[in-house]
Structure 1
C-alpha cells in the first residue's frame, strides 16, 4: 500500500460498516480494502495503490548529501495517554531518530498489527493523531501495511514506522566527535513521558497530572545547527532515559561525562512519583527530550536557538565532557559527592514506547 500525506479529505466509495476489527479485515478481500481506504488512506491520502512508494526530492540531488534511514516498533501500554498515543509516538520517535543525526526527515512508512476485536474508533483516533504529528513535523507518510491477528495474539495495536531523511553535505553529528570541555545541554524537563505512562496505567492509584513530552524535534535541531554547525552530537533520551543516552555517548567518544544534579530539570510531580515508587528519573523514558554536546564557545548560541522553539523553551546546560574517568558518567550530587550513573540494567517500566 502506497500512501501520501496531503489535505485530509475523505475518499468516496468506501465506508467501513464494522465497529470492531475482525479477521476478515486482514484477509485481503473487500473487508480489508474497506478498512484501508476508510481508516487509513482517507487520512494519509494515497498517491496510488501500488506496492511501493516512488519518491523524489530536491535534497536527494545535492552534492554530498547522505541518505538517513531508521526504523522502530511501538508497543506502548496504554495506547492512549495524557499528551499522546501510540500513533503520535510512532511518528515523533522516528522523526526524532533522524533529526538527532542531523538529517532532515522527509518520508515515513507505517505498519499496523491489529488484534481482532479492536474498536475501529480507536484506530481512527490513532491514525488522525499520526497525521497531525506528521503535519507538525513536516513529513509525509508515504507507504504502509496492515495485518490482523486473532484475539490474544497481540495486545490491541502495535505500530512499526520507518523513516527516510537527508543529511546535507558537511553535517557530521556523531558521538565520536565529542571532546573534553564540550557542554551537555538538554532541551527540557526529563521523565514526563515515563511518569505519564505509569500514572495512566492506574496500577498505583497515582493522581499526578503529568502529560507526555511526545513531540517532534526536527525544527529544534535545525535551529541549533543553523547557529552551531559544529554541534558535536545529539541523542533523544527515550528508553533508558538521560542516563543511557549519556553512557552511549561517553562510550562511543571515549570521554568522561560529568553532570550536576542541581541542574537536572524535573517537574515537582515527576519527582514525587519517583520518590513514592523508588524510581530514578535519570532512567525514565522521554519522547520529546534530547541531550546534545556542543563546543563551549557555542553554548550560549545553542541555548538561545533551542529556547526560540516550542520544544526548547526549558533548555539548560546540565554538564560537560571531561578527560577524567573515560567512558563513565558521574553526577555531582546535591550533597557534594560524586555518583556513578551507569547504564540501565533491565527495564524500569515495560511497554513504555
Structure 2
C-alpha cells in the first residue's frame, strides 16, 4: 500500500452538506455559526459566543438564558442518562455565566414505538436532577416522529437564571494566569459514553 492510498478522515470544510463534525463543538461548528447563524440573527448576545446569553432584567439582576439539545447515544450510560444530562448540561451553561438557575423548559422528540416504561425512567431522571439543582420545570412540549426517524428520544432544554448586577463572567474575561476549576476528571463523561457505546 502506497501513501497515495491513504486519505485524511477529517471532512473538508467546504462541503455543501452538514457532517457529524458540525455538531461537535470544534472548528466546523464555529464555521457553521459564522457562515450561517450569525448572518441571519446577529444579536450582540449571540455573537458573544458564550454558553448562555445575559440580558438586563431589573435593578438587582440580569437574566441568563441558554438552550441545549441532547442526542446522546446510548441514552443510558455510567453516571446518568439523557434525562439527567439535559438538566445538568443546561444548568452548567448557566453556571459558567455566574447565573443562579431559576427554571427550565423541556421539549421531547420521541420516536413512534418508544417504550413508555423508558420514558417514565427518563422523565424521573429529569425531575430528580431538577430537584437536585433546586430548579423547576415550568413548561414543555412533546412531538412524535415516525418509527425509524427519531433514534428513540431527543431532548431540548432551555434554562433561565439570574446573575447579580456587577458580576461579569464569560470567555472574553479569561486571562493568562487564571486558575481553572474542575468538577471532575477531564473527559470522564465523554469516555463513559464512548465505552458504553462500544460495549467496553
> Under a length normalisation based on structure 2, what TM-score does the superposition of the two structures give?
0.68
Map of 1:187 onto structure 2: 183
Compute the displacement of 1:189 (Å): 1.1
Structure 2: gaps of 5 or more residues = 1-55
**Residue 176 (str. 1) matches residue 156 (str. 2):** no
Distance 1:179 1:190, change over 3 A: closer
2:67 and 2:57 mapped to 1: Cα distance?
A: 23
The count of corresponding residues between Structure 1 and Structure 2 is 145
Give, in angstroms, the shift of residue 200 of structure 1: 1.2
Instruction: Determine whether 1:132 maps to 2:131.
Output: no
Q: Given that residues 62 and 163 in structure 2 are in contact (C-alpha distance below 8 angstroms), is that contact kept between their aligned partners in structure 1?
A: yes
**Is there any run of 5+ residues in structure 1 with no aligned partner, and where?**
1-59, 207-353
Residue 53 of structure 2: aligned partner: none
| Aligned counterpart for 1:76 among listed residues 61, 69, 72 | 72
Q: Distance in 2 between matches of 1:146 and 1:178?
A: 39
Q: What secondary structure sits across from 1:98 in the alignment?
A: helix
Which residue in 2 is equivalent to 1:233? none
Distance across 1 between alignment mates of 2:64 and 2:57? 14
Q: Which deviations, in whole Å up to 9, do the C-alpha atoms of 1:265-290 show, x marking residues without a partner? A: xxxxxxxxxxxxxxxxxxxxxxxxxx
Q: For the Cα contact (< 8 Å) 1:64–1:170, is it kept in 2?
A: no
Look up the match of 1:106.
102
The question of 1:163 aligning with 2:159 is answered yes
**What residue number does 2:24 align with?**
none
Higher relative contact order (CA 8 A, sep 6+): 2
Match for residue 90 of structure 1? 86
Residue aligning to 1:287: none
Q: Distance in 2 between matches of 1:112 and 1:76?
A: 13
Please report the RMSD computed on the Cα atoms of aligned residues, expressed in angstroms. Answer: 1.6
Report how far residue 63 of structure 1 moved: 1.5
Q: Is the 8 A contact 2:106 2:157 kept in 1?
A: yes
Structure (1 or 2) with the larger CA radius of gyration: 1
Q: Aligned equivalents of 2:125 and 2:180: distance in 1?
A: 32
2:138 aligns to what? 142
Equivalent residue runs for 1:1-353 within 5 Å: 63-201=59-197, 203=198, 205-206=199-200
Counterpart Cα distance in 2 of 1:169 and 1:95: 19
TM-score scaled by length of structure 1 = 0.40
Q: Distance in 2 between matches of 1:160 and 1:137?
A: 18
Runs of 4+ in 1 over 4 A off after TM superposition: none
Corresponding residue number in structure 1 for 2:51? none
C-alpha distance in structure 2 between counterparts of 1:181 and 1:194, whole Å: 27
**Offset of residue 61 of structure 1:** 7.7
In structure 2, how many angstroms separate the alpha carbons of the residues matched to 1:97 and 1:61?
Answer: 19
Counterpart-to-counterpart distance in 1, 2:58 and 2:79: 37
Q: 1:198 to 1:61 in 2, by over 3 A?
A: closer
